[in-house]
Amino acid sequence: MDNRKKTWLIFHAKRFKFQVVNNKEKSKIILKNLNKIYPKVPIPLNYSNIFTLLISVLLSAQCTDVNVNNVTKNIYPKYYRPHHFVKLGRKKIERLIKRIGIFRIKAKSIFYLSKTLVEKYKGKVPNTYEKLEQLPGVGHKTASVVMSQGFGYPAFPVDTHIHRLAQRWGLTNGKNVIQTEKDLKKIFPKKYWNRLHLQIIWYGREYCKARDCYGITCKICKNCYPNRKKPIKTKKA
């Protein structure tokens, strides 16, 4: 082997020594790092039963979990069943949650959602995607969180943090949250979904923030793409 060819091989061997080439390898790196950082994963929203979980997730749209928890800590000790909110009525619900964004719309959803649960499901939260997504104000993400955290059903709810990090880690094209969910479900085994989606949320809040890292400085981004130099632009959820 001549010196020129030998030099070329050494250069490229060093260059690509730690280069991740596929999603399977990246998934191993991601799981290893997240399990090390978050061996026990705290649930961001406080709740006392599946119904209050549903309400908290509904309230968290366009609002921080911290703000939701600060509001609901004064509500749930007294109001924690669907019939409680039906009895309260929309106006009183509005007053209880007025510190939360778009509170009038959310109060309307909570009232009619509670009314539906009382009239159709005897006050119990249904445990299927189809029935959950038929409730007022409940979309696929909200239903996924309830199915995952409330009923223990394998689900992968995608929020803004997961959507951003999945793009930075090259696991999805970021077309929309529906596509991101499909892509992540294909890459990670189902047994990890419920724990993993929470781990990614916390990692996105603490290490790979929206206005930080940009796909080049946090540990997971560097491990997945050691040669990446330019910031990654991601599509919003």
- Active site (catalytic) residues: 141, 159
- Quick check: 237 and 159 in contact, CB under 8 A? yes
**Distance between CA atoms of residues 79 and 67, nearest Å:** 18
Cα-Cα-Cα-Cα dihedral of 50, 181, 163, 105, to 10°? -40
Joined together, the tokens standing for residue 172 give 């999805």
- Quick check: 51 and 125 in contact, CB under 8 A? yes
Determine phi and psi for 192, rounding to 5 degrees: -95, -15
Query: Could you identify the residue written with the tokens 């499909």?
Result: 182
**Distance between CA atoms of residues 70 and 65, nearest Å:** 9
Joined together, the tokens standing for residue 85 give 């909110």
**Distance between CA atoms of residues 167 and 174, nearest Å:** 6
Neighbours of 40 (CB within 10 A): 5
Joined together, the tokens standing for residue 75 give 């509500």
Distances (CA, A) of 10 to 3, 6, 7: 10, 6, 5
The length of the chain is 237
